[in-house]
Amino acid sequence: MTASMKRDNRMSASQSLISGGVAGVFSRTATSPLDVVKIVTQVGTFHSKRGFLNAFHTVYREEGLRAFWKGNCVACIRIVPYSAVQLATYNRFIQLHMDDLGRVSQWRAIVAGSVAGIVAALVIYPSDVIKTRLIVQNSLDPAYRGVLHALRCIYRKEGFLALYRGASLTVMGAIPFSCGSFLVYMNLDKLWGEPSFRFTPLQNFINGCLAAGVAQTLSFPFETVKRKMQAQSPVLPHYGGVDVHFTGMVDCFRQVVKAQGFLGLWNGLTANLLKIVPYFGLMFSSFEFCKRVCLYKNSYIVSPLSYQLAPGVDQSLGPQELRELRRLLRNRSFKSEQSTVSNRW
């Protein structure tokens, strides 16, 4: 998926970051109901006792329509710092493993993406804990009144380490996630019957969704246990609504398998898989629109509603180079006019 949203050199770094942030906020907000149902199912709150479809009905009946956007504020706030850290880490890793011709193998690129994701997730991990707590609480009788109140309460009542509860599972889950991504991308040419450099944008989108589906399915048990560890707290009613009680990570795995069977580690997977296509579809479409607006502002295209290139503009130049070239041409034109006027007199 990263390859499809790679940086366009015709946009500045800030424009790329802002475009990605706007796209992330829009897609995350639109698919928030699926995310809420996924997390309450992973944690095992009372909303999810009667299955996936009934979880929507229970959330709506018990807490109202706004409950489907619980935790969305903190989820949106964390997008920009997450993207910034991830991009910086990814670029640094790529630079370290680039050969003399400036190329990087697909396996190293996937590892770079995984390492970047881990670093970014750990840096902003407290926001993920807060998001989980806000989602699983009853919004009509909340323990936390907002993001800052949740941060303050968790830190004061449970200590600093509570904000990193389950963080090790982020690292552990990256291993099957990377293997799943690599497995898919290594077999795409067999799937389509043609080499990868001939793939259309639609094929690349399908490839990204397929890779995300396989990778997230393989790593899902680690996320399920992580969500339960984030939500469980002795200072909250019903221990945070978690369906099993445990003393640590290994015990959490054991208790889930004992109470619900091995497949209990994949509770919430349906909502997660259903979220992939609309999430990435909305992300890419909104990112492409923001990109067109930036390219129009930078004078590379004639309209933000199309990709029709502006005539006489060198598309290989960066925004700063293009501005300097235009300034130079204007100065030459002005001096030429002055010279013409002087010759006349």
Q: How confident is the model at residue 337 (pLDDT cuts 50, 70, 90)?
A: low
User: Are 87 and 123 spatial neighbours (Cβ–Cβ below 8 Å)?
Assistant: no
Q: What is the mean pLDDT of residues 265-277?
A: 94
CB neighbour list of residue 215: distance below 8 Å, 6 or more residues apart: 176, 177, 178, 180, 181, 184
Between 132 and 305, whose confidence is greater? 132
Between 184 and 73, whose confidence is greater? 73
Between 248 and 107, whose confidence is greater? 248
Q: What is the mean pLDDT of residues 151-161?
A: 96
Q: Any idea which of 71-75, 130-134, 203-207 has the lowest mean pLDDT?
A: 203-207
The confidence score (pLDDT) of residue 1 equals: 43
Q: How confident is the model at residue 7 (pLDDT cuts 50, 70, 90)?
A: low
The confidence score (pLDDT) of residue 4 equals: 43
- pTM, 2 dp: 0.85
Q: What is the mean pLDDT of residues 332-343?
A: 58
User: Are 40 and 135 spatial neighbours (Cβ–Cβ below 8 Å)?
Assistant: yes
The confidence score (pLDDT) of residue 203 equals: 84
Among 223, 240, 211, 261, which residue's Cα sits nearest to residue 109?
211
Q: pLDDT by residue (tens digit) across 282-303?
A: 988 888 889 889 998 888 888 8
Q: What is the mean pLDDT of residues 187-204?
A: 80
The confidence score (pLDDT) of residue 221 equals: 97
Residue given tokens 């590892």 in the structure block:
111
Between 149 and 337, whose confidence is greater? 149
The DSSP secondary-structure symbol of 65 reads G
The confidence score (pLDDT) of residue 70 equals: 95
Q: Check pLDDT > 80 for residue 8.
A: no
Distance between CA atoms of 51 and 259, rounded to whole angstroms? Answer: 16
**What is the residue-averaged pLDDT of the chain?**
87
The confidence score (pLDDT) of residue 31 equals: 96
The confidence score (pLDDT) of residue 195 equals: 79
Query: DSSP secondary structure string, 217-239?
Result: HHHHHHHHHHHHHHH--TTSGGG
User: Are 208 and 1 spatial neighbours (Cβ–Cβ below 8 Å)?
Assistant: yes
